[in-house]
Structures are given as structure tokens and as C-alpha cells.
Amino acid sequence: MSRTLELHDAGGTAEQFLADQRVAAGYTRQSKAKADKSEASPRAQDEATERKALERGCSFKGHYRDIGVSGYDPNAERKGFDRLMRDCRDGLIQEIVVFDVTRFSRREPKDMIPVVLELFSLGVTITSVAEGPFTPDKPTELVMLIRRLQAAYQSSENKSETASGAKRAAGRFGGWTGGTPPYGMESYAEQATRVIDGKPVTITTRFLRPTPKSDDGTDQGGVVVSMVDRIFEHKDKPWDGKKNAHPGSVNSLTTWLNQRRIKTQQGGLWRTPTVKRVLSDPRLAGFAAKTVYRTGADGRPTRTVDGYRILRDEHGDPLVIGEALIPPARWFELQEWLSGRGRGKGLTRGEYLLTAMERLECECGRPMTGSPRIYKCCRPSGVVEPGQHEGGNSISQDALDDHVARRVLEVILGASDSPETRDIITEATLRYAEFSEDPSIRGERASLVSARAVVTRSMERLYDDLNSGIYDGPVGRARFRDEKEQLEILLESLGRRLVEVGCPELPALPLEEWGDAGHEDPIGQESWWGRATVAERRTLVKLFVDKIVVTKATYRGGTARACRAEERVTVTMASAGPTSEGNGA
């Protein structure tokens, strides 16, 4: 009988047994070798880490200390930390307890990530008295720890940077420069010493963190987390609703919030634009961001928020503005949902194969919608438009589905027959790679592309200003060169980051499975198509089709009605041109 089973027989638990076997050690570090009465003094750190280890049910091995050693300088010799790592590798320690993450390290994350990954591979938990445990079996906690290390490094880096003023410095380094914090976040002050005009000056920078939690979950931070959890719970599930919005859509979230009588930041009712704006805010993921306002008819910015632009450092990485309420990877995945299908867009309502994909159109250019057993033009009844079809335009659902499916299967079964077919397969492969890719990586790439476009436009405006004479004179030319150099550095950094993120790997399309050549009818009942769900069929259409246009019938059906879809329907297959851009995700 195992020791764990014996423990169960004795009335204990496996968790208690494992906790009893864990050995924890405290790590204490302070840059200046002095004892003071602050909460982060070496003595206070020692007491707090030992107390935390015992609270977590671990036996305490002792303290590993580096006093008078910088956690920011990559060349600093940390003998205590090196000894701690050796003992972890030897299996003597299963948990490291620090006062806060800044004691663990203030070095650049790229230097510390290998250390963290090694500790996690050894099964070592890193516990912060201030932030809680970061366990190796939870990938999201790894992301959170890396972000906290980034914040610690950024904080230390900020202290050594030259700034022209406190507010400008706060904005440059990701500090909160004022105003109302985003819904779900609150600001807090942190003092730092910076060199201004050659002199060290202590300034106060404000950062953001999630609002304090309430027991009933009605705190703003808890509300945001509940909204995100609701989206992720429902977003990939089939939806057969006829009238009600998809439960993971923005419309549904708006109704859900108002039914629970949860108030907005201003104490009013929620509207769908407000919900989407709150969830789109990069500051929820700990990123500094600039608000982008919608432009009015006169070309001037309005007070209506159109979105946010993530602020990035000279390396192209997002500036950290504080603690994250939503883990960054989860936030990027959320943005994909909000931008592509925020109100149920792209989700099939029941049995319709071709609707809600921005592919099915009437000859008049309007979308076609699903109605019992047919697809029909969405132009309102009685509306007459010059040069367009008279009356309605509809087509049999079964006939159109059958026609489109056979066009797709023709390409799949004849994948190597012609250059045109091979081009379609190539584009479908690129789209399939995007479908298969981690949404957080896809979101990060989209964010970088957007940031690069913004910097490029700024560069163009800079040259326009130069041509208009704004930078005439020695002072103006010097300022132009400085701004040009900064933009070029940022543009180059964004390019490097895009290379690091890379393009999605190209997987092999399962053409044989889709084609199912062993069956006489490629879309028959026993074929892959015949066995596939509506969602699986829709995915195949998205991969291989750009547009489906239906013309109005020029004949009456009579007693022997025939749809003649091959005469009325034009199917444009996948291509890399403007028609297909953005449709593959």
C-alpha cells in the first residue's frame, strides 16, 4: 500500500501529505547593505518569507540572502541566489518564497525567463508574499510572473532614465498620467528617483492595478472577469438561437449586466458600445495605451472612443502600466472575438450553412439571409432600386448548399490538376494555418501590424510638415532629425518584433480526408461532407470560398420546379487578393 493510500485510510488527504513533503526556502535581497524599519528591510523580508512558507504547510529550510546586491544589474554577482539554484537542481527545495517579485529579480525578462522556466521544469513553485504563488502546472501563472518581472524591470529601468518632467516621464514609461482609470482598475502611487537636468529628483508615478475584490463579485474587476469568463464559456459552442443573441456576444453581455443591475462607471445602464470599449482596453492586460477617438464629418476628432493603441518601447514590446486584470494572452484572444464576432457575427443560427460569413450576396450587392428552406435577399419588401432586380430574390437552401459543396470538393479532388487550383489550395493552406494558430500570437501580430501602420503614417506626416516649411531653420531641422530618428528606431523595432512573432506555420491540409475519394458521391451521406457538422462544413467553405453571388431567376418554376443553381450562382474561390483579406480568421 502506498504512503498516500495509507494517509487516506488514516483520515488525511493527499494534499496534506504532499504539503508535508515540500521544502521551502526564503530568498532575501536588498540593493543597499543597510538595515532600516521599512517593510522591505532584510529582517522584515526574512520574517515574512518564513511565515509565508509555514502558512503554506511547507517545512522551512532557511534563508538565502544577497544584501547590497542589485537585482537590476545583469553583471551583479548573486552568490545567495546561485546557491539557491544549485539546491533546487539537487532536489533539496520545492518552493522559493520571496517578499515580492522585485526581490526575485529586476533584470530584463529575457534574462530571467530561462531561469523561471528551469525552476518550473524542476517543479519549483515561486511564491511572493505580496502577489501569491506562481505554480509550474499553470501556464497562465507563468505569463503573470513574466509580466510582473517585466514590470519590476521596467520600474528599475525608469529610475535611471532622464525625463523632462514628472508627467512626461510617467507617460513615457507607462505610468498612469491621470484621468478616470479604466473600469475594473484603480490607480496607485509609486515613488521613484529619476535624473532630471542632471540632478536626481524623486517623483511620484501612478500605475494601475485591479480594483479590490468583494465577496459577492460585484466589484468592477470581478465584473470584468465575469464578462470575459462568460465569453470564453460560450464562444466556441454551437448556437441554435432564433431570436436571442448568442450568450457570448456583446449584445448578450449588455443584457446580462443590466438584468443584474450592475452600473457603469458613471452609474448608468450598459450599452453595447460601452461593453465593447471596456473589454477592448489594453490596460486591462497591464499595457499602456493611447485612446483613439473617432473622426467627425469635418475631419476633426470627436469625443467618441473608437479604440485603443498599445504604446510600445524602443524594442517594440508593450509598455507595462501596472498589474494585469486579464492575462495578456487571454486578452489578445478576447480581442479576436470582439473584432471578428463581437455580436454573434460569424455564428450560424441553426441549420444555415452559408449565412453570417460575409460571403453570400445577392446580385444587387446585399447580403442574403436564411429563411425556412431558402436563402433570400435582405432588401426590404416593396423597396425599388434603379437598375436592380424587381421583387425578391431567393434560392433553394439545399440546392445552393449542394452547388457550393461540389465546387469546393472539385478543387480538393483535383488539387494538382492546374495552376489555378494549386493557387486556391495555397491560399486555403494559409487560412488553415491562421485557424490553427494560437489566438494570442495572432492577436499580438495584428497589434504589431497596426502599430507599424501608425508609425508609418506618423513618418509620412513628419515629411509633409518638413515640405510645408514647419521645420525651417537650425532649431527646426534639429528637431526634425530627432523625431525622424525616434520614428525610424521604433519602426525598426516593430519590424524585428514581427520577425520574432513570425508567420503561422503551414500545416498540411487533410485533403484526402475531406475529399473522401473512396465514395462515389463526394458529398453523399457516407462521405466526409455527409458526416460533418454544420460548423465543420462552414470552416471548409471559409477556407476555399471568397464570395457567392446569386442572380434572380429569369423563369417561373411551374409544376416541375428546378433551381438551376449552376446557371444562377457564381462562386469565387479563395485567392490572396483584396476580396479574401481578413476572411480567413
Contact (CB, 8 A) for 494 and 501 = no
Whether residue 468 sits in one domain with residue 550: no
Mean pLDDT of 554-579: 73
Would residue 16 count as lying in a domain? yes
Would residue 354 count as lying in a domain? no
Of 501, 522, 540, the domain-final residue? 501
Q: What is the pLDDT of residues 496-515, one digit of tens each?
A: 877 777 666 667 888 888 88
Range of lowest pLDDT (39-53, 114-128, 283-297, 347-361):
347-361
Of 122, 137, 156, the domain-final residue? 156
Question: The cell 518581472 sits on which residue?
Answer: 149
Contact (CB, 8 A) for 8 and 67 = no
Phi-psi region at 344: left, alpha or beta (left = phi > 0; alpha = psi -120 to 50): left
The number of residues making up the chain comes to 585
pLDDT for res 31: 66
Would residue 135 count as lying in a domain? yes
- pLDDT bin (cut points 50, 70, 90) of residue 105 is low
pLDDT for res 197: 57
Mean pLDDT of 379-389: 87
Would residue 353 count as lying in a domain? no
Q: Into how many domains does the chain fold?
A: 5
Distances 277 to 274, 323, 338, 442 between C-alpha atoms, Å: 5, 19, 10, 20
Of 482, 501, 520, the domain-final residue? 501
User: What cell was used for 499?
Assistant: 520577425
Compare 313 and 194 and report the one with higher pLDDT. Answer: 313
Rounded CA-CA distance 20/17 in Å is: 5
CB half-sphere exposure, 180, CA atoms < 13 A: 7
Would residue 79 count as lying in a domain? yes
Whether residue 224 sits in one domain with residue 134: no
Whether residue 135 sits in one domain with residue 83: yes
Whether residue 192 sits in one domain with residue 139: no
Would residue 348 count as lying in a domain? no
Would residue 411 count as lying in a domain? yes
Mean pLDDT of 136-155: 73
- pLDDT bin (cut points 50, 70, 90) of residue 106 is low
Whether residue 94 sits in one domain with residue 52: yes
CB burial string 58-70: b at 16+ within 10 A, e below: bebbebbbbeebb
Whether residue 69 sits in one domain with residue 9: yes
pLDDT for res 375: 93
pLDDT tops 60 at residue 173: no
Mean pLDDT of 345-350: 46
Whether residue 446 sits in one domain with residue 432: no
- pLDDT bin (cut points 50, 70, 90) of residue 71 is low
pTM score, two decimals?
A: 0.44
Q: What is the pLDDT of residues 239-287, one digit of tens each?
A: 655 556 778 888 889 999 999 899 998 888 999 889 999 999 989 988 8
Whether residue 17 sits in one domain with residue 65: yes
Mean pLDDT of 93-115: 77
What amino acid occupies position 150? Q
Whether residue 444 sits in one domain with residue 391: no
Domain hosting residue 126, numbered range: 3-156
Q: What is the pLDDT of residues 456-497, one digit of tens each?
A: 877 887 888 888 887 888 877 888 888 888 888 878 888 887
Would residue 82 count as lying in a domain? yes
Range of lowest pLDDT (127-131, 196-200, 479-483):
196-200
Q: Domain containing 18 — which CATH number?
A: 3.40.50.1390
Q: Domain containing 240 — which CATH number?
A: 3.90.1750.20
Mean pLDDT of 380-388: 86
Whether residue 204 sits in one domain with residue 97: no
Whether residue 301 sits in one domain with residue 186: no
Q: Among 116, 129, 110, 32, which residue's Cα sits nearest to residue 71?
A: 32
Whether residue 144 sits in one domain with residue 40: yes
Average pLDDT over the chain reads 77
